[in-house]
Structure 1
Amino acid sequence: MMGRYSLLQAALVLFGVIFCLIYPLALVWPSGWMWHEGAPVASQYYMMIVGVYAVLGLFLIRASANPSEHRSLIWFTVWSSVVHAGIMAVQSLQNPEHMGHMMGDVPALLLVAIVLGVLMPRGDRRVDPVILPDG
């Protein structure tokens, strides 16, 4: 059986790969992964999101080698996923044509946040020393 740390490493790789695959997900299930009509490349905004998530995905994969050294990146992923899902949920409720997101990326982002948040080690709460300038 995998330990919690190994599960965290596996989750980081899995979610990293999925974040790198946002574009193909939009091709397969547009109503759950895009906010516009037409091809994914039809929206400059969407392509910016694809780029940001691809970079985050690559860094999550890299963080899987040693999650304890990448705590801030992992917590950023947790909390930015919660915020992103919350905003998208409200926008979906305000615009019925986007309700597919309530079955697609909203629960996916919440799943990322919950899994990573639960698997993150709690015992190492060291605070890095702050070096203040002389004076």
Structure 2
Amino acid sequence: MIGRYSFLQVALVLFGAIFCLVYPLALVWPSGWMWHEGPPVASHYYVMILGIYLTLGLMLIRAAANPAANRSLIWFTIWSSVVHAGIMAVQAMQNPEHIGHMLGDVPALLLVAVVLGVLMPKADIDVRAM
């Protein structure tokens, strides 16, 4: 039977791959994944975000091999996703042209936070027992 720890490993690889694919997502659905007009690389900030998410995605994929040794990275991903989604949700609600984010990157980031948060073992639980 597959335990919670194995599901965590799968989730880390899956979310890591999705973070690596933010650029293609922006090409397919710009209103849900970009905050500017034009192609994704037309904005300096967006290129920076792409670089950060690509790096985070690769690190999450690597963390899947040993999640217990990468707890800080995983918790950073959880909490930074909540904060990022919250800020984007407020900004999208204040600007109707960005309301597509309420169906795109905002729920995607909250999904990452919830799934990883539920699957992360608590500090006092022996992960080998999972």
| Same topology, TM > 0.5 | yes
Determine which structure has the larger helix proportion and give its number. Answer: 2
1:34 paired with 2:34, answer yes
Match of 1:70, as an amino acid?
N
TM-superposed CA distance for 1:124, in Å, is: 3.3
TM-superposed CA distance for 1:123, in Å, is: 4.5
Match of 1:90, as an amino acid?
V
Match of 2:12 in 1: 12
Equivalent residue runs for 1:114-125 within 5 Å: 114-124=114-124
Distance in 2 (CA, whole Å) between partners of 1:124 and 1:42 is: 47
Match of 2:32, as an amino acid?
G
Q: Secondary structure at the match of 1:32?
A: helix
Distance in 2 (CA, whole Å) between partners of 1:41 and 1:121 is: 38
1:77 paired with 2:77, answer yes
Q: Secondary structure at the match of 1:55?
A: helix
Q: Which ranges of structure 2 fall in alignment gaps of 5 or more residues?
A: 126-130
1:22 paired with 2:22, answer yes
Aligned residues: 126
Identity %: 79
Runs (4+) of structure 1 moved beyond 6 Å? none
Q: Which ranges of structure 1 fall in alignment gaps of 5 or more residues?
A: 126-135
TM-superposed CA distance for 1:40, in Å, is: 0.3
Q: Secondary structure at the match of 2:35?
A: coil
Q: Secondary structure at the match of 1:85?
A: helix
TM-superposed CA distance for 1:3, in Å, is: 0.9
TM-superposed CA distance for 1:89, in Å, is: 0.1
**RMSD across aligned positions (CA):** 1.3
Distance in 1 (CA, whole Å) between partners of 2:124 and 2:24 is: 37
Distance in 1 (CA, whole Å) between partners of 2:85 and 2:18 is: 16
